[in-house]
Structure 1
Amino acid sequence: MASVAQTARSAEVEITFESRAEAGLVPANFSSALTGQGRPPAWRLGKDRDDAGETPTVAETSGDETDYRFPLLIYQPLEARDGEVTVVFKPVAGRVDRAAGIAFRLRDERNYYVVRANALEGNVRLYRVVNGQRHQFAGRDVAVASGRWQELTVRATGNRFEVLLNGAALFQATDTTFSGGGRVALWTKSDSLTHFRKLTIRTDR
């Protein structure tokens, strides 16, 4: 089972993917979905192995090279409007794309915001997805390393958003498309093989 720590004062949920019993399966409290075309997502628990040892992870493993294909792994127990979401990720492989993202204020697989980092393109971008169509409304060119653990963060307060990479502020933006609450999800694109090791959701009360 994915481990969850929650405190009433901070309304913070920290999710890691460390249960051997679930190896190869979708983690508990999550559901899989897809925006766009291509094969259904194949989210799997596994291990990242490097010089530091083994790290429990979850990844979308299908390798489907369909370009307009966005797998989602949706955290079901919580809905939020304002707060902060951080994901720790490592881009591992991908010929068409090598991306990691956070979907938030997610109503369904066709309507949400997403911030994503792309190691092949060297940028971080913020989109709204409306009826399954992406529309970029902010972004910045910045190095996103392959084969290295990094942190992507989005802060949402009303119609204002702030995006950080590895703790450094990248840009701010405003948008009013999705003003209510919604779920949070891990997000990738096309054939991206991206390892995710931790998801932290902090909601403002």
Structure 2
Amino acid sequence: MKRAFVGIGITVAAFVLGICTRTDAADESQPKARGVAPGQDVQWSFDKEKAGSVPAGAYPFSGTWSVKEEGDAPSSPHALCQTASATFPAIALSDKIFADLTVSTRFKPVSGSGDRAAGIIFRIQDEDNFYILRANALEDNVNIYKYVAGSRHTLNEGSAKVVSGKWQELRVEAKGNDIRGYLNGKLVVETRDDTFKAGKIGLWTKADSVTCFDDVKATAQ
């Protein structure tokens, strides 16, 4: 019997060691996630960032993202702009984790013949798994999607006038499985989904959209 317990002990120790080893290896390849306590917020104005650079702490998944001087930016002089064509250009803004949250940003659809979109991504698990709140100036709608295993699925759609070349506000609220999307303070679309409980936040566009963002604010609820 004693030999059996010794054998079990060795097996458990090896299993725990294996988990620790895999976790340590994962930590070396990506930023360490940090939770944000309810009531706390994180803000980005991009004005202290160097023009032509990716904001400190941010990491693009796809597309070309850089800080640019924008004379009409809501908080002058800088904004964060996506200027290349890709299927779904996206960027995570930091390694901080939010569960229930409110995220808002000012955005300006600059150009795009296939799409002219601006989006907030939230509860990001990785580059292939997250929620999207998207406004489109060519389609005049604000939609909620989930992006699962690299495939986009529509959760709900809402109609709203999205103006090209003008700064507007996009806001998402997520509490539990309730998700609500607002354009310029007006509720446009809402849905329920249980796929993702918590994750990072970021920004998103589509196809050939050239879009600028400013004054991002995320508050944990």
TM (norm. structure 1) is: 0.85
Contact 1:98–1:194 (CA under 8 A) maintained in structure 2: yes
What is the CA–CA distance in structure 2 between the aligned matches of 1:52 and 1:166, rounded to whole Å?
Answer: 14
- Which residue of structure 2 aligns with residue 44 of structure 1? 66
For residues 103-125 of structure 1, what are the alpha-carbon distances to aligned partners after superposition, in whole Å with 9 as ceiling and x for unaligned? 10010111110010000111000
User: Displacement, 1:191?
Assistant: 1.1
- Select which of 146, 153, 157 maps to 2:171: 153
- Which has the larger helix fraction? 2
User: Displacement, 1:151?
Assistant: 0.6
Contact 1:88–1:152 (CA under 8 A) maintained in structure 2: yes
2:42 paired with 1:13: yes
Q: What are the within-5 Å matches in structure 2 for residues 26-45 of structure 1?
A: 26-34=54-62, 41-45=63-67
User: Displacement, 1:49?
Assistant: 2.6
RMSD value, Cα: 2.0
SS in 1 for 2:94: strand
* Structure 1 pair 155–54 and aligned structure 2 pair: CA distance change class (3 A): closer
User: Displacement, 1:157?
Assistant: 0.6
Contact 1:55–1:197 (CA under 8 A) maintained in structure 2: no
For residues 162-201 of structure 1, what are the alpha-carbon distances to aligned partners after superposition, in whole Å with 9 as ceiling and x for unaligned? 11110111122101111x2100011011111111111100
- Which residue of structure 1 aligns with residue 103 of structure 2? 85
Q: What are the within-5 Å matches in structure 2 for residues 42-191 of structure 1?
A: 42-50=64-72, 55-62=77-84, 64=85, 69-178=87-196, 180-191=197-208
**Consecutive unaligned residues in structure 2, runs of 5 or more:** 1-35
What is the CA–CA distance in structure 1 between the aligned matches of 2:67 and 2:73, rounded to whole Å?
Answer: 20
Asked which structure has the greater CA Rg, the reply is 2
User: Displacement, 1:51?
Assistant: 10
User: Displacement, 1:77?
Assistant: 3.2
User: Displacement, 1:10?
Assistant: 2.7
TM (norm. structure 2) is: 0.79
Contact 2:74–2:106 (CA under 8 A) maintained in structure 1: no
- Which has the larger strand fraction? 1
Contact 2:130–2:148 (CA under 8 A) maintained in structure 1: yes
- Select which of 176, 194, 201 maps to 2:211: 194
Contact 2:129–2:148 (CA under 8 A) maintained in structure 1: yes
User: Displacement, 1:19?
Assistant: 2.4
Contact 1:88–1:196 (CA under 8 A) maintained in structure 2: yes
**Percent sequence identity over aligned pairs:** 38
Contact 1:82–1:157 (CA under 8 A) maintained in structure 2: yes
SS in 2 for 1:152: strand
Contact 2:145–2:152 (CA under 8 A) maintained in structure 1: yes
What is the CA–CA distance in structure 2 between the aligned matches of 1:52 and 1:61, rounded to whole Å?
Answer: 19
Kindly report structure 1 stretches of 4+ aligned residues shifted beyond 3 Å: 50-55
For residues 20-58 of structure 1, what are the alpha-carbon distances to aligned partners after superposition, in whole Å with 9 as ceiling and x for unaligned? 6x1101010100103xxxxxx211111223499953101
Counterpart residue identity of residue 159, structure 2: D
